Amino acid sequence: RKSRKSRKSRKSRMEASDTGGWSSGCLGDLSSNFTPSYSLDPPMALDPGVQNAWRGRANARLPPEVNRILFVRNLPFKITAEELYDLFGRYGAIRQIRKGNTKDTRGTAFVVYEDIYDAKNACDNLSGFHVLDRYLIVLYYQPNKQTKKVLLEKQQEELEKIKAKFAANEG
């Protein structure tokens, strides 16, 4: 059972980070569709798998797509920020969790770890994890793909405006 003091301090830290927003700006325009949950530094997990990951990290080589930001899909809509934190916090210190809050982003979240090895361990262990009758899809956030998608959408909008302008001039 957690002490009253730890619950109180967790709640106050949770409220404090809700006002901070996404300060790094690494998600660009996407961040407006997500609400920051909260950022805490959990005690190191006692899970032996996590401890072994810490021991072997000096010699580990990481694939190029690995980074500290995970994109989580297929989340149950009813999952709370605290449940997300408890689930992902088992694998290391979390800097921030952002849970989708709009129609298009519900069921998704971004989880930012302090350490890249913790993010890799969480991605490896939580992909396909069963939570509230759903299987999580955990991917590394890839800003290039999202940037290309946003640019393509903007180009399509500009093209439609130009077409509309020329159609109005001809008619």
> 87 or 161: whose pLDDT is higher?
87
Residue 14 has pLDDT above 50, yes or no: no
Residues 51-75: what's their mean pLDDT? 73
| 72 pLDDT above the threshold of 50 | yes
Average pLDDT, the chain: 73
Q: What percent of the chain has pLDDT over 70?
A: 62
**Residue-wise burial string across 88-113, b where 16 or more C-beta atoms lie within 10 A, e elsewhere:** bbbbbbbbbbbbbeeeebebbbbbbb
Position 140, amino acid: Y
Q: For position 91, what pLDDT does the model report?
A: 96
For range 85-103, the mean pLDDT: 94
Distance CA 106, CA 119 (A): 22
